[in-house]
Amino acid sequence: MLKYALAAALVLTAADAKTPAEVWKDGIKDANAVWATQKHAYLKINDAAYLHEGEFASLIGDPKKPATWHWAKGKAANAALIASFQKGKAVLTKGGKPVPEAALANGIDIAPDIDVTGGATQMAPGETGLRLWVFDQTNKAAKAFKGIDVFPYDPAYRVSAAFKPDPKFTPHVFRTSRGLDKQFFHAGDATFVLQGKTVTLPLYGDARKPADVKSLSSFYTDELTGKGAYHAGRYVDVELPAGKFPPATVTIDFNFAYNPNCARSNFFNCPFAVDFIPLAMKAGEKDPHAAAH
- Both 164 and 244 in a single domain? yes
- Both 166 and 26 in a single domain? yes
How far, in Å, CA of 40 to CA of 267, rounded? 13
Max mean pLDDT among 9-23, 34-48, 279-293 falls in: 34-48
How far, in Å, CA of 82 to CA of 96, rounded? 9
Asked whether 201 and 221 are in contact (CB, 8 A), the reply is no
On whether residue 288 sits in a domain, the answer given is: no
- Both 264 and 159 in a single domain? yes
- Both 72 and 208 in a single domain? no
- Both 173 and 216 in a single domain? yes
Of 42-51, 158-167, 169-178, 235-244, minimum mean pLDDT range: 235-244
On whether residue 22 sits in a domain, the answer given is: yes
Number of Cβ within 10 Å of residue 20's Cβ equals 18
**DSSP per residue, 62-87:** ETTEEEEEEEEES--TT-SEEEEEET
Q: In whole numbers, what is the pLDDT of the chain averaged over residues?
A: 93
- Both 28 and 127 in a single domain? no
On whether residue 154 sits in a domain, the answer given is: yes
Q: Is 108's pLDDT higher than 50?
A: yes
On whether residue 141 sits in a domain, the answer given is: no
Q: What is the pLDDT of residues 150-186, one digit of tens each?
A: 999 999 999 999 999 999 999 999 999 999 999 999 9
Asked whether 118 and 130 are in contact (CB, 8 A), the reply is yes
- Both 120 and 224 in a single domain? no
Q: Is 206's pLDDT higher than 60?
A: yes
- Both 9 and 70 in a single domain? no
- Both 115 and 228 in a single domain? no
Give me the pLDDT at residue 1, please.
45
- The pLDDT of 46-61, averaged and rounded, is 98
- Both 107 and 63 in a single domain? yes
| Residue closest to 181 by CA, chosen among 267, 272, 118, 90 | 272
On whether residue 21 sits in a domain, the answer given is: yes
Give me the pLDDT at residue 130, please.
98
First to last CA, the chain: 28
Asked if the peptide bond before residue 247 counts as cis, ω within 30 degrees of 0, the response is no
On whether residue 282 sits in a domain, the answer given is: no
Q: Is 38's pLDDT higher than 70?
A: yes
- Both 90 and 184 in a single domain? no
Q: Is 124's pLDDT higher than 90?
A: yes
- Both 119 and 196 in a single domain? no
| Residue closest to 1 by CA, chosen among 165, 203, 153 | 203
> Which residue range forms the structural domain that includes residue 242?
5-36+147-277
On whether residue 186 sits in a domain, the answer given is: yes
Domain closes at, from 112, 136, 160: 136
Which residues, in sequence order, are bridge partners of residue 163?
A: 190
How far, in Å, CA of 271 to CA of 207, rounded? 16
On whether residue 293 sits in a domain, the answer given is: no
How far, in Å, CA of 79 to CA of 63, rounded? 12
| Count of domains forming the chain | 2
